[in-house]
A and B are shown apart, each in its own frame.
Chain A
Amino acid sequence: MEQSIDVYPEQKGLGGMWKRINQQGKMTTLLLFLPPALFLFTLFVILPLGEASIYSLYKWNGIGELDNFIGLKNYERVAGHSVFSSAVVNTLKIVGVSLFIQLPLAMICALCVYQKKWSNTVFRMMFFLPYILAEVVAGLIWRFIYDGNYGLISSFTEFFGLEPIFVLADRGLAFTAILVVIVWKYFGFHMMIFIAALQGISKDLIEAAKIDGASTLQTTLLIKIPLVRHAIVLSVFFSVLGALQLFDLIMPMTQGGPGHTSHSIVSYLYTFGISRMHIGFGSAIGVILFIACVIFAFIYQNTFMNNKAGGKS
């Protein structure tokens, strides 16, 4: 049999190596399929982040040479800016409202409508509807609702014979009003996540709990909610990341006003960085936001999601 090795020349040399690696066009496919995505992703997602950290060290308006190196001055200015502090506080408020009002509301709704019934489907679809509307649309709708002369709020004030209240123009109320819209827009999304998880609970477990004598409330608190822990973990994750990047809702409602009291971090970035072409300053905000996200995501995933994060092979 030894001679048959010799009658098979392709086994040797570079050509043979390539053929061996490229069985069934494996390498060709890899080289055709992966780079487009990798290139786009690197160019438009990863690279801008790196560049943001460079720009953030300069004072630059986006035109002309990048030569005015000012070190960490931009960061100092961001950190010292009272509007930035209020944007951060606002973001924390969003997180708080998401966790303590939105998610419980979503959970109660999910528990009410998770069973597969025709009427439940109708409720589910209605509650989910705001989520698919564009943020700008949601913002405009609520801007109308909050309008002191025309909206629903005006009906109330008129009914009780009060002076018209311009909620969105009120420093004390504007951001609270935005929080209401956030709950309105996003609770349906979290409800759907919970419903999916609740439907995944085996019926046997619920029945076993009943036979063990658990009341409906006990079944809910002791069986159902612990069993959908993974969905809650995921919802909290989405809520926090969503709070950190909220922008589209702010613009149609208040544009950050009045008196820059209702900014989110991103609307702050837009107002003070992009629209004024302060590239360096805006980039510094972006970098701070990025660091906040990474720290949060990293700690959170390691604490709560370590056994199931990001689809391992």
Chain B
Amino acid sequence: MAKVEFHQVHKKYDQTAHIVKGIDLTIDEGEFVVLLGPSGCGKSTTLRMIAGLESISDGQITIGDRVVNDLEPKERDIAMVFQSYALYPHLSVEQNIGFGLRISGEDKATIRRKVADVAEILELTPLLGRKPAALSGGQRQRVAMGRAMVRTPSVFLFDEPLSNLDAKLRGSMRSEIRQMHERMKRTTVYVTHDQVEAMTLADKVIIMNQGHIAQIGSPREVFAHPNSKFVASFIGSPTMNFIDVQIAIADSGQLSVQLGDTQVPIVGDYRGQAGAVSLGIRPGDVYIDEQSGPFDAELLSYELLGASALCCFSLQGQQINAEIDAAIPVKVGQRCRLAFDLEKIHLFDTHTEKAVFTPQITI
């Protein structure tokens, strides 16, 4: 019923600022899609174009089977939850939730019933008479969600809805949003810059960068197989390491990574040429292995995180982080042998920054 499609959608302001540069995208019915990216990447603008709060400079957006380019927000059958909640300060919780229904001319009894139902689900019933100023952050958030839910739209839009909450509340609100999606099964587009939210909520993550879509995939996919250096560095915490290495291809076809004098053979599908590439490896995939570790490195700093520790090493003049078991005794200044999990390395072309290697996974 409500599939959202983008066809070469552009957003320009005053001819000078090109915010969204030709997006093609299909969001399936009932899917929970997260638009993820750094600030200024165009994700909020994209969302607002779906909502009808921003005009579409070029291209076309369809919701269901209607082109919505020239439809007003109210005609698009959408509801939206805003970053600041945007509750009307002078109206009570009940009036806030029922405002849209009142505007669309529903009769009072219906509004009352629908608002009561939603309030029940969100546990807002005792708060219906209050003004937004008398609510806590989490309660305001729920009212904002209630306002969206009461209209039973075919598409839900969320614009960084959790960024004003503290870390603890954010976790519980995440699961409430997820539950609401399970219950209502509506197409949902959710904008955030927080990758944890993206990972936990999304059926599909769309990573945006500078007005383009960098990658689309399930959370697992974008984490395990980033298709560019940008995605690789944006997803995952602590951030992926990048080191400059050489790729050598032997006559036999055997690939190997060269770093200084050290040469490590790797197995997989390589789509580049011999020469310089950027090697990416997540800190969790770097180990200290005094027996067989191929790389000699010096420990520069040690940060205890709890069960693990983040160690920064100097590896032939390049810095590399490793997340190691906190129980391993190491000292700053000490030299260690490092090993990489070769099934989890990524290689990126130094110019295009595209991923050029798929490791072969041995089971």
Contacts and interface: CB of A to CB of B under 8 A. Distances in A.
Report A-B touching, CB under 8 Å. Answer: yes
B62 A4 contact: yes
Interface string B51-72: 0000000001010011101101
B67 A8 contact: yes
A11 B62 contact: no
B102 interface: no
Contacts of B5: 1
B65 A4 contact: yes
A24 B70 contact: no
A4 B70 contact: no
B72 A23 contact: yes
B67 A4 contact: yes
A124 to B, nearest CB: 30
A11 B72 contact: no
A39 B62 CA distance: 43
A260 interface: no
Interface in A96-124: none
A5 B70 contact: no
B70 A16 contact: yes
B65 to A, nearest CB: 7
Nearest to A25: B72
A35 to B, nearest CB: 24
A5 B62 CA distance: 10
A11 B60 CA distance: 12
Contacts of A5: 60, 67
Interface residues of B, number: 11
Contacts of A8: 66-67, 69-70
A1 B7 contact: yes
- Scoring A4, A5, A10, A16 by chain B CB atoms within 10 A of each residue's CB, the highest score goes to A4
A11 to B, nearest CB: 6
A73 interface: no
A20 interface: yes
A10 B65 CA distance: 16
B73 to A, nearest CB: 8
B26 to A, nearest CB: 11
Contacts of B7: 1
A229 interface: no
A16 B69 CA distance: 12
A27 to B, nearest CB: 13
B69 A11 contact: yes
Interface string A1-32: 10011011011000010011001100000000
Identify whether the interface residues of B are mostly helix, strand, loop, or mixed.
strand
A11 B69 CA distance: 9
A41 B65 CA distance: 49
Nearest to A11: B70
A166 B284 CA distance: 98
Contacts of A4: 60, 62, 65-67
Nearest to A5: B67
Interface in B56-97: 60, 62, 65-67, 69-70, 72-73
Interface in A144-201: none
Interface in B129-183: none
B70 A19 contact: yes
A19 B60 CA distance: 17
Interface string A278-304: 000000000000000000000000000
B72 A24 contact: yes
Contacts of B73: 24
Interface in B16-74: 60, 62, 65-67, 69-70, 72-73
Interface in B185-201: none
A4 B5 CA distance: 12
A5 B69 CA distance: 10
A112 B65 CA distance: 71
A1 B60 contact: yes
Given A1-B5, A1-B7, A20 B60 contact: no
B147 to A, nearest CB: 18
A308 to B, nearest CB: 25
A145 B62 CA distance: 80
Nearest to B73: A24
Contact of B62 (A1, A16, A19, A24): A1
Given A1-B5, A4-B62, A4-B65, A20 B72 contact: no
Contacts of A1: 5, 7, 60, 62
A20 B70 CA distance: 6
Nearest to B5: A1
B62 A10 contact: no
A23 B72 CA distance: 6
A1 B62 CA distance: 9
B23 to A, nearest CB: 14
B107 to A, nearest CB: 23
A27 B69 CA distance: 18
A233 B271 CA distance: 70
The 4 A-B pairs with the shortest beta carbon distances in the complex, nearest first, are A8-B67, A4-B67, A20-B70, A11-B70
Given A4-B62, A4-B65, A24-B73, 6 more contacts: A1-B60, A5-B60, A8-B67, A8-B69, A11-B70, A16-B70
12 contacts: A1-B62, A4-B65, A4-B66, A4-B67, A7-B67, A8-B66, A8-B67, A8-B69, A8-B70, A11-B67, A11-B69, A11-B70
Interface of B: 5, 7, 60, 62, 65-67, 69-70, 72-73
